[in-house]
Amino acid sequence: MICPFCSHEDTKVLESRMSSEKACIRRRRECENCQQRFTTYERVEISPVMVIKKNKLKEEYSREKIIKSISNSCVKYEIEQEIIQEIAARIEFGISLLGKKEITSAYIGEKILEYLKPVNEIAYLRYLSVFKKFETIEDLYKEINLCGKTLTFSN
Ligand SMILES: [Zn+2]
């Protein structure tokens, strides 16, 4: 980071923190040459990525769609919006690390499941049932068993 006052190349970071909306990192810096202090805001930006859907159509990646998709399976289970935002941000970070121009909607779906499972198993199963299109109730039970749960019935 170049100092905006004297153009010196070395500045030291005094303090870093996530800004309130968690979309960027705020850093307080000090120039090692002139000792002037200034603040930078770093925003992680992901270069345009296309998502290939099941029907082979492509659409531009959007974080909002991930959030909406998770929200749809959570509505009744009250997962905090903040946690949903966090999951979406993590998935997006993972996508940026892949460095690919195209990813599949299945990849995103798997990631949503991966992060949803430890947060809320009911929402996870609900999302899974849509994602894998369970045909029968047995399919659902099988999946619940994979979750390590034993179903018990009482009457
Ligand atoms: Zn300076």
Q: What is the DSSP letter of 46?
A: P
Domain ranges in the chain?
Answer: 11-43, 52-146
Q: What is the DSSP letter of 47?
A: P
Spacing, Cα 21 to ligand 1 middle (Å)? 30
Spacing, Cα 44 to ligand 1 middle (Å)? 25
Spacing, Cα 43 to ligand 1 middle (Å)? 23
Tens digit of each residue's pLDDT (9 = 90 or more) over 99-127? 899 999 999 999 999 999 899 888 888 88
- Terminal C-alpha separation, the chain: 67
For range 50-57, the mean pLDDT: 91
Q: What is the DSSP letter of 1?
A: -
pLDDT at 147: 61
Phi, psi of 20 (to 5 degrees): -55, -40
Q: What single letter denotes the amino acid at residue 26?
A: R
Spacing, Cα 6 to ligand 1 middle (Å)? 4
pLDDT at 21: 55
